[in-house]
Amino acid sequence: MSKKIMFQGTASNVGKSIIVTGLGRIFKQDGYSVTPFKSQNMALNSFITKEGLEMGRAQVSQAEACGLEPIADMNPILLKPSGNNKSQVIVRGKVVGDMSSPEYHEYKLELMNVLGDIFKEFEEKYDIVVMEGAGSAAEINLMERDISNMGMAKIADAPVILIGDIDRGGVFASLAGTMLLLSEEDRKRVKGVIINKFRGRKELLDSGVKMLEDIIKVPVLGVVPYSDIKIEDEDSVTTRFKKQMGINDIHIEIVRTPHMSNFTDFNIFETQEDVSIRYVDYGESLGNPDIVIIPGTKSTVDDLMFLRKNGLEEQIKELHRRGKLVVGICGGYQMLGKKLKDPYHVESDLEEVEGIGLLDTETTFELEKTTTQVDAIIDKDLNGYFANLEGKKVKGYEIHMGITDRGDGIKNLCTITEKLGQKVNYTEGSVNSECNVLGTYLHGIFDDIDFTRTILNNIREMKGLERIESKVKSFKEFKDKEYDRLADFLREHLDIDKIYQIMQEHEENNGQ
């Protein structure tokens, strides 16, 4: 049997995902085979594996840090909120259906054995399984059928380390209060706590740490400060949306729609020194960006209505009239067309909705979801913003419920050459005749530095600036270095030896 350890939080967004990512990297560096595991994740950020299965993005980063190809069983249950108090339920990478909270609460009983079987396979295959909880460890109204936190720890028979966020205030109360609300059996599983997101002088915290240890009777395994390490965030409560990057040569604005998904599509821009990014939130207006992006969404029609109601649709059209580059990814691509048809009422009660109309396309929502990884080659006959791209290779993945038909005036973005490992030949993406509007279903297309840097340099030339090269030559290599930086950072601020000791003692006691 492998060693195992689970990291749970006092609340959402306390930093569980980052801690698990960093520890996965540490265990790998120390010579162990290690896998991440998060039984249930609620997020709109998802990824498609090489098998065409859907999983949460956070476990993709954790798998990369562990040196593994992501597989859906690392996140067996993914919940994607879809509005009307319902979520799309995805089990082992495949959609089961939309469920309300009460419906899902009943369905969870069927999932316990599934989780147990997957975890047993992981135990047999890897030296260490590093687990992540979800939300708060002490949701006392949900504990009876919990499969995210202590319920999963019980299934796996894993020791637990509890994480609290000092930045939001009240970290001592949240850690002590969480311990108080746990059952005696669950409290015994907690072998230590971590104080995360600290700002300031640690010596001023030392007396509080000692008092907390006296109260909860388990050690504080570290106080982790804020850092500038660029690792993908778990979900939309990320601080990324609350900040505006400095004004540089090229300015990009991304519309933060209510159901925005896969914002990780744009992390690559943060590695480019001449680019500034702003997420345009509710009640805000677009400025004067060089590129405006409508991102993917879980609810295309609802988010289109949001743009229309808040005046953002007209602002996007005005930027287009002024020759700015307008980009739509997935649901954003669908919105840019002339019509969205919904004969099966997948998205709403409406049969047909008028789109923004910047692309001569029509989308029909289907009952089946497309989930695939693809390789592609950028097509010829593109100019303007897309000049110098012909023949460049890109990769991406698709997650969408619609099929988009294109009019005669539309240029292809690319030709898909490989789909889920099989050779294919069909076109994807839409570019208008003026080459200043792009729509594509390919999430992750900007991760290709050559593709992205070419577009950025085209914009530089239009602004009378010199073309420059990216200091980041490969986004994959960039992320790999960040995982190493994170590991070094956590080694400095956490008692890694004690974490190994906790796993070893649990394994020895469990074996008796």
CB 273 within 8 A of CB 307: no
- Of the chain, the end-to-end C-alpha distance in Å amounts to 13
Q: Which residues pair with 373 in a beta bridge?
A: 397
Helix orientation angle between 16-29 and 57-65, rounded to the nearest 10 degrees: 20
The residue written with tokens 């677009």 in the block is: 286
**Distances from the Cα of 353 to the Cαs of 51, 60, 369, in angstroms?**
34, 35, 20
CB 115 within 8 A of CB 147: yes
Catalytic residues: 330, 443
Q: Which residues pair with 80 in a beta bridge?
A: 88
| Rounded Cα distance, 137 and 410, in Å | 51
Task: Output phi, psi for 405, to 5 deg.
Answer: -100, 140
| Rounded Cα distance, 190 and 161, in Å | 6
Q: Which of 68, 50, 58, 76 is nearest to 13 (CA)?
A: 58
CB 417 within 8 A of CB 375: yes
| Rounded Cα distance, 285 and 304, in Å | 16
Can you read off the two tokens belonging to residue 493? 């601020």
Which residues neighbour 315 within 8 Å (Cβ) at sequence distance 6 or greater? 285, 286
CB 337 within 8 A of CB 308: no
